[in-house]
């Protein structure tokens, strides 16, 4: 089964709830891999800088290659191959826009960033495609499922009016009532009125006190059994991350996420050593970065994203290394419906899986642009089915309503 095309379709529309509350426009890009067998697979990428260029590169570079070779394609995209390279490999200028084929390393000579984000979306589409070809769910390509349903946790960021304690109470009560059992808030958006210097990576005592006050309202509303976690978005210096962790200790939080810049496992290890809250890291990591942080004893919980780590097989590989170190894995999720279902297949196939994040519960189109057997979520979970591949099809009407300017629906 040969790859005959790799196409993209960019959707966009309002995002009701985002970091810091409020609304904004957001785009999601659907990837489709076509084959000479008449079968296709669907994937998703985030519309980050360079990702669509990465997909365009992959279209030219991998046309004619074996569609079953998902691992080899991701590996070749990230690291290249030795000369004389695989049969059929492209060399020199490719396609109409003269993209230059690079066979000895990744197109950017580094496995990070847009290269792996593009490869992740294509790998997701290949898993869908291979599952359809073999008439089996994608989780079976990863060794089968440990569980029939995958727990989902909601990113809440913060209410629009962070100074209104009743808004925090309302947001917490609404999340509990919606059937989910875990939610996350953003430390860096919880008390922005107290920030006096946006550069120095610090948290003042006043800011910490407001964060504690607001999260105390959340904890009081949810009761003691609801899981709450907080995200620092890699913003803070080590001593202030430790300080806020200690100030929040009495609230019994599930994890403190990305407390310090992720370029340094040593500072994160220092925070972990002195934090009463478990440390979760890695939403933008590939496998080698997780290895570095695990080996430096810099994290308690791993947080890979199927859109950023290289896809389903890479996520499973990361989870296996964590499992060998007796560490759990939560799955970061900033994707739409398709990425969420793909991540659920991976989560089902990881023994040490904790939960899968979802950002867009207030923004229906992002959860509805693909359809599956049953709703996207049921009782705070993605329920896996026996449908082949990812078990999703485009909702053409929702896609049509949200096509970005200049885009056309897949035929």
Would you tell me which residues interact with Mg ion (CB under 5 A)?
231, 257, 283
The nearer residue to Mg ion, 9 or 366, going by C-beta atoms, is 366
Query: Minimal distance in Å, beta carbon 258 to Mg ion?
Result: 6
Query: Minimal distance in Å, beta carbon 285 to Mg ion?
Result: 12
Query: Minimal distance in Å, beta carbon 259 to Mg ion?
Result: 11
The nearer residue to Mg ion, 46 or 128, going by C-beta atoms, is 46
Query: Minimal distance in Å, beta carbon 284 to Mg ion?
Result: 9
The nearer residue to Mg ion, 62 or 290, going by C-beta atoms, is 290
Query: Minimal distance in Å, beta carbon 2 to Mg ion?
Result: 38
The residue ranges of DSSP E strands in 16-62, in sequence order, are 24-35, 40-46
The nearer residue to Mg ion, 128 or 357, going by C-beta atoms, is 357
- Beta carbons of 358 and 340 less than 8 angstroms apart: yes
Which neighbouring-strand residues pair with 229? 184
The C-alpha torsion from 83 through 86 and 92 to 98, rounded to 10°, is: -150
The nearer residue to Mg ion, 129 or 281, going by C-beta atoms, is 281
Cis peptide bond prior to 153, omega within 30° of 0: no
Nearest to 348 by CA among 138, 165, 59: 138
Sheet order of strands, 3-15 included: 3-15, 24-35, 40-46
- In order of 92, 93, 212, 330, the CA distances from 282 in angstroms are 35, 35, 25, 10
Query: Minimal distance in Å, beta carbon 329 to Mg ion?
Result: 14
The nearer residue to Mg ion, 46 or 283, going by C-beta atoms, is 283
Query: Minimal distance in Å, beta carbon 385 to Mg ion?
Result: 29
- In order of 43, 122, 144, 338, 382, the CA distances from 394 in angstroms are 11, 16, 25, 9, 18
- In order of 38, 90, 96, 269, 381, the CA distances from 255 in angstroms are 46, 46, 48, 14, 20
The nearer residue to Mg ion, 279 or 392, going by C-beta atoms, is 279
Report which residue's Cβ sits closest to Mg ion.
Answer: 231
The nearer residue to Mg ion, 231 or 240, going by C-beta atoms, is 231
Query: Minimal distance in Å, beta carbon 305 to Mg ion?
Result: 9
The nearer residue to Mg ion, 240 or 257, going by C-beta atoms, is 257
The nearer residue to Mg ion, 128 or 231, going by C-beta atoms, is 231
Nearest to 221 by CA among 168, 154, 184: 168
Looking up tokens 């509990």 gives: 176
Looking up tokens 């199927």 gives: 306
- Beta carbons of 393 and 41 less than 8 angstroms apart: no
Query: Minimal distance in Å, beta carbon 324 to Mg ion?
Result: 24
The kind and range of the H/E element at 298 are none
Tell me how crowded residue 324 is: count the other CB atoms within 10 A of its CB.
10
- In order of 159, 221, 368, 376, 394, the CA distances from 341 in angstroms are 27, 30, 12, 8, 13
Query: Minimal distance in Å, beta carbon 301 to Mg ion?
Result: 12
The nearer residue to Mg ion, 188 or 231, going by C-beta atoms, is 231
- Beta carbons of 390 and 311 less than 8 angstroms apart: no
Q: Is the dihedral of CA 77, 82, 85, 89 positive or negative?
A: positive
Query: Minimal distance in Å, beta carbon 120 to Mg ion?
Result: 17
């Amino acid at each position: 089964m040969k790859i005959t095309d790799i196409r993209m379709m960019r959707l966009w529309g309002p995002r009701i709830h985002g970091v810091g509350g409020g609304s904004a426009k957001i785009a999601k890009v659907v990837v489709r891999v076509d084959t000479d067998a008449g079968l296709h697979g669907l994937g998703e990428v985030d519309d980050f800088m360079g990702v669509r260029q990465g997909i365009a590169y992959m279209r030219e570079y991998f046309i004619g290659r074996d569609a079953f070779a998902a691992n080899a394609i991701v590996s070749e995209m990230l690291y290249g191959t030795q000369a004389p390279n695989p049969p059929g490999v492209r060399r020199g200028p490719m396609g109409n826009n003269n993209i230059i084929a690079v066979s000895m390393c990744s197109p950017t000579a580094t496995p990070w960033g847009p290269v792996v984000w593009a490869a992740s979306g294509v790998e997701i589409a290949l898993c869908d495609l291979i599952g359809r070809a073999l008439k089996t769910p994608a989780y079976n390509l990863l060794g089968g499922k440990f569980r029939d349903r995958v727990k989902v946790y909601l990113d809440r960021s913060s209410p629009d009016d962070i100074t209104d304690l009743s808004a925090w109470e309302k947001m917490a009560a609404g999340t509990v009532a919606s059937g989910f059992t875990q939610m996350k808030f953003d430390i860096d958006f919880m008390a922005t009125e107290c920030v006096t210097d946006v550069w120095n990576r610090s948290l003042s005592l006043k800011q910490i006190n407001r964060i504690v006050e607001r999260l105390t309202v959340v904890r009081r509303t949810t009761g003691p059994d609801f899981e709450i976690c907080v995200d620092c978005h890699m913003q803070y210096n080590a001593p202030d991350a430790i300080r806020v962790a200690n100030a929040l200790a009495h609230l019994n939080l599930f994890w403190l996420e990305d407390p310090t810049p992720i370029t340094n496992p040593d500072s994160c290890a220092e925070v972990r050593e002195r934090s009463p809250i478990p440390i979760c890291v890695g939403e933008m990591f590939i496998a080698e970065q997780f290895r570095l942080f695990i080996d430096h004893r810099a994290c308690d919980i791993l947080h890979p994203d199927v859109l950023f780590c290289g896809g389903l097989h890479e996520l499973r590989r990361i989870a296996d290394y964590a499992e060998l170190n007796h560490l759990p894995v939560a799955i970061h999720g900033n994707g739409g419906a398709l990425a969420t279902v793909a991540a659920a297949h991976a989560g089902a196939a990881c023994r040490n899986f904790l939960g899968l994040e979802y950002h867009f519960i207030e923004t229906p189109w992002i959860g509805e642009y693909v359809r599956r057997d049953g709703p996207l979520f049921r009782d705070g979970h993605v329920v896996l089915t026996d449908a082949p591949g990812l078990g999703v099809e485009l909702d053409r009407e929702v896609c049509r309503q949200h096509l970005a300017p200049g885009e056309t629906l897949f035929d």
